[in-house]
Structure 1
Amino acid sequence: MNEKLFYLKCTFVGILTGIIVITYRVLLDKINLWRKDFFQNLKLDITFYDMLGIVIFIILSSCFLGYITKKYPMTRGGGVGFVKADVEDNIDFSSSNKVVLRDILYRLIGAVTALSSGLSFGIEGPAIELGAETGQAIGNASNSQEKEKKYLVTSGAAAGLSAAFNAPLTGMIFALEQIMNNISTPHIMAIFISTTIVSGMTYKVFGLRPFFDFQLLDVIRLQDYYVIVIFSLITTIMGKCYFKLASFFENMNKRIKLPDIIKPIVPITIAIFVSYYFFYLTGEGYIIANKIIFNDFSLSYLVVILVAKLIYFVYSSSTFIPGGSFVPLISIGAILGKIYGLVIVKFFNFPNEYIICFIVLGMSLLMTSIFRAPITSVVLIVEITGATNLFYPLAIGTIFVMLFSSILKMNPLYDSALKKYIGSIHNLKRKD
């Protein structure tokens, strides 16, 4: 392998992934603003043309999503499991640039369409897949050897996650922890180059602002760490509830006897209804999380929002429509953390600063319980909140979540999802 040429390819992977994912994020930002204005105005005055436009959108978006998820199954769900399987030689993504470029286009349009409808998805799943497919395309175009292609796919996946959150270190750690089995210097350099390049591009477009800007005044005292252990158990149980709820909705979706091409009409219609009556439950959950984190609400209200957001997010995820999970789970974890923080402060006289601390802990620990990726979860939350002084409590919490998850026999989301996809998609070709 020509080292200089390989690093040049990684640079191109970073640049192209940056262009694609930045385009994806900009489109979503503009569409989300339009959606908010549209549904606010709709409550004031509903016209015949508004209703006609909604019906047309439901039909067209449902047919499009049904078509691409049936004909191109690699676009289903977040797609991260497929990237992992491709790198591990379990599934062959595609053999030509024509196929890869088609998948990139369909995933981009499909992800934008799904989030535009109001379903509860994150941006990172499609971003990771878009980056991986960009790496595959460059590998095919340059006639790279199979081993080098795997490096480029991993490099692109890391760049995609980095671009989604402006979090280069998270992109690197995620690839090392979740995608790669065998770590080598070329693999690490491929990830390092692409994530560094793409981060410079996203910083230029979106700035250095974090997703959540916390002003942490204090950290949890060592003698109070037992409350972290208790919270770790609670978040693990919440993760277990997620899997039970996901299984329920998947079985419910299987009982819907509609042709695959129009099957998304059910979730899209539900999403429009939720957007009209409960707009802040839709999308990633970033808006409602910020609203709840930085404002005062009663415990009963927070519990209702937590349950509603969890149910709607899990239902959205069970539809196999293109979308991610990180930000919705981060938002749900933040709400759970605020509830726990309020309880221990109000009823057990802990310091008020613990509320913010457990909001941050909730973001990381819930992700850990579902993805079983403790290092990625800790690093991501530190990067998007700037809560560096909570690194040790986060690490302690994730260790206990991993322990409790093992006791409860919880499988990582990507592994369990991939098994279901493989079982239901007959036209995926396994490698020998």
Structure 2
Amino acid sequence: MQIHGSYKISQIKAILNGILIGILAGSTVSMFRWAIQHLMTVMRYLYTQSLQQPIYLIGCVIINVSIALVVGGFLKQQPDIKGSGIPQVEGQLLGELDYSWWSVLWRKFVGGILAIGSGLYLGREGPSIQLGSTLGQGVARLFRQVGFDRQVLISSGAAAGLSAAFNAPIASTLFVLEEIYHNFSTNIWVVSLTSAITSDMVATDVFGLKPVLYMKSTPLPLKYFIWVLILGVILGVLGRCYQFVILRMSKWYRLTRLPWMINGVFPLLLVIPLGMFFPRLLGGGSDIILHLTVAGYSTMLLGLFFLIRFIFSMISYGSGLPGGIFLPILCLGGLIGAIVGNLAIEFHLMPALYFSSFIIMGMAGYFAAISKAPFTAILLITEMVGTLTHLLGLACASLVAYAVIDLLDGRPVYYSMLQQLLKTKAQFNLGKTVQIMETVYAGSEMDGQIVSRIKWPSGSLLTKIQRNGREIVPSGNTLVRWGDTLYINVSTNNQLKITHQLTKLTKET
């Protein structure tokens, strides 16, 4: 009964932590979204006005170069704000790297607003995930949670961040389990779902109940599902092309011979003419997705939009500026679906009534292929579009695209990005960790203390305890005893200092 009661108390504490993280992440990401939307509105106005008044063009150049230099300074100070942030979160949960939560939080927040709000083809969802995870890390530090308990809070923060970005709490939880954590542990999903729902409530209060990508649509009948198979194959092939290019952009950027911190100057100057002539294509892509169903674009124009979005998405992300690929991937998938649907309609092989179904299936299938997370793709689009009637089409397109990219030897894009990140960090010795072992002596400061009450040095993470020949996965309530061998991941940046501090804690006083 005592163990059962203790377990219940532990679960209640975890859920309360999830609610706290959800409130913090929901509030932070809502401010992040609001600021990006308003800055984007201002920049779109300046870009379009530049066609008539050259003084606006000069102003745009000055503003965007200033953004590149400011964000470049942030990147130099804290390289872990680079890109979407999802590979960094994965690496943190795998124990491969660690970073200061506050240092990343505010720089990612400000840098992401400036980079995405300028109109670059970057998404808010990756930065939102990292913002949420750093808040989870901050809560873990506040309550002195380490080991598995700390990982659960970081995971729940990631789910809360994505939920607030897209108002999709179920898909956000599944994304953490399927893509980031690769684990369906009860402890993880309960806290992640709690934080995601809480975060969604906060974001809904700010932005309303309407789904992010709501569009009127009619589900595709089974007699037209041959087009779903064709669409799935195309999505899989083009998804592999996307993976191939985006994973090589950092190498191609080296040809500019600019310091990597200010690579953003190039896309921030290039976005000005794009904003002047194609203002609807700016940003992550939600604007053009919502406009596809009513604009009546020709197939040729849709193809042009796809090429522009594909090329400049690569240039934007490859620069290293804070911003994600999640929404840009959905935009590209929607455009592919629109092109296939348009062709079927133009050849009178399908009624125009089902055009929007292809946009919806294209978004799901393209994301499923590139991320290799089909369950997340299906649920995410379902929640973002606000209808369950397309589930069969979403599932078929996603599975076909997944199978095709698997045959083409494609790997999950975020996992591949993490491997590149770890290789870079190893090369420059940025944030790499090593595992050390410390034996706890009788009478030491650690002897008889529970994990959450020990003053662990910054940059250290307890991962395992070996006691009497058996291994224990530690939690905040685990008791540390003399004779225990502790396995601790330590940052190489301050390895000697951290090791010395740990030795003082484990040796006899």
Shorter-chain TM-score tier: over 0.9
For residue 296 of structure 2, what is the aligned residue in structure 1?
296
SS in 2 for 1:294: helix
Letter in 2 for 1:331: C
Provide closer, same or farther for how the CA distance between residues 86 and 389 of structure 1 changes in structure 2, counting only shifts above 3 A: same
Provide closer, same or farther for how the CA distance between residues 180 and 262 of structure 1 changes in structure 2, counting only shifts above 3 A: closer
Q: What pairs up with 1:120-269 in 2 under 5 angstroms?
A: 120-217=121-218, 219-247=219-247, 249-269=249-269
For residue 69 of structure 1, what is the aligned residue in structure 2?
75
Q: Kindly state the Cα deviation for residue 326 of structure 1 after the two structures are TM-superposed.
A: 1.8
CA distance in 1, matches of 2:18, 2:420: 32
Q: What pairs up with 1:304-315 in 2 under 5 angstroms?
A: 304-315=304-315
Q: Kindly state the Cα deviation for residue 209 of structure 1 after the two structures are TM-superposed.
A: 0.8
SS in 2 for 1:85: helix
TM-score by length of 2: 0.80
- The reply on whether 1:43 has 2:46 as its aligned counterpart is no
Q: Deviations over 1:68-111 (max 9, x none)?
A: 223312111101011112112222x23xxxx3112100000111
From 36, 58, 67, the equivalent of 2:64 is 58
Contact 1:245–1:311 (8 Å) recurs in 2: no
SS in 2 for 1:182: coil
Q: Kindly state the Cα deviation for residue 348 of structure 1 after the two structures are TM-superposed.
A: 4.9
For residue 428 of structure 1, what is the aligned residue in structure 2?
431
Letter in 2 for 1:238: L
Aligned residues: 424
Letter in 2 for 1:74: D
CA distance in 2, matches of 1:75, 1:304: 32
**Higher helix proportion (structure 1 or 2):** 1
Provide closer, same or farther for how the CA distance between residues 56 and 224 of structure 1 changes in structure 2, counting only shifts above 3 A: closer
Contact 1:371–1:412 (8 Å) recurs in 2: yes
For residue 116 of structure 2, what is the aligned residue in structure 1?
115
- Identity between Structure 1 and Structure 2 (%): 26
For residue 376 of structure 1, what is the aligned residue in structure 2?
376
**Higher strand proportion (structure 1 or 2):** 2
Letter in 2 for 1:266: F
Q: Kindly state the Cα deviation for residue 315 of structure 1 after the two structures are TM-superposed.
A: 1.6
For residue 337 of structure 1, what is the aligned residue in structure 2?
337
Q: Deviations over 1:22-79 (max 9, x none)?
A: 11011011111111222233322222xx455334323322222222223312111101
For residue 27 of structure 1, what is the aligned residue in structure 2?
35
SS in 1 for 2:256: coil
CA distance in 2, matches of 1:63, 1:101: 21
Deviates more, 1:20-29 or 1:5-14: 5-14
Contact 2:365–2:399 (8 Å) recurs in 1: no
Q: Deviations over 1:107-126 (max 9, x none)?
A: 00111111132210011000
SS in 1 for 2:320: coil
Q: Deviations over 1:326-364 (max 9, x none)?
A: 221212211111110111122152222331111110010
Q: Kindly state the Cα deviation for residue 134 of structure 1 after the two structures are TM-superposed.
A: 0.2
For residue 398 of structure 1, what is the aligned residue in structure 2?
398
From 65, 71, 86, the equivalent of 2:92 is 86
Q: Kindly state the Cα deviation for residue 247 of structure 1 after the two structures are TM-superposed.
A: 4.7
SS in 2 for 1:401: helix
CA distance in 1, matches of 2:187, 2:400: 33
User: Can you give the 5+ residue segments of structure 2 that lack an aligned partner in the other structure?
Assistant: 1-6, 436-509
SS in 1 for 2:148: helix
Letter in 2 for 1:86: Q
Provide closer, same or farther for how the CA distance between residues 259 and 241 of structure 1 changes in structure 2, counting only shifts above 3 A: same
Runs of 4+ in 1 over 6 A off after TM superposition: none
Contact 1:158–1:174 (8 Å) recurs in 2: yes
Contact 2:173–2:196 (8 Å) recurs in 1: yes
SS in 1 for 2:258: coil
Letter in 2 for 1:241: C
CA distance in 2, matches of 1:183, 1:334: 30
From 5, 13, 17, the equivalent of 1:5 is 13
Q: Deviations over 1:242-268 (max 9, x none)?
A: 123325543320111122343322222
Deviates more, 1:30-39 or 1:193-202: 30-39
CA distance in 2, matches of 1:232, 1:266: 34
CA distance in 1, matches of 2:206, 2:257: 45
Q: Deviations over 1:277-310 (max 9, x none)?
A: 3322321112222222222121111111111111
TM-score by length of 1: 0.93
CA distance in 2, matches of 1:389, 1:361: 12
Taking only aligned residues, the RMSD between alpha carbons, in angstroms, comes to 1.7
Letter in 2 for 1:143: R
Letter in 2 for 1:165: F
CA distance in 2, matches of 1:261, 1:84: 23
CA distance in 2, matches of 1:284, 1:15: 25
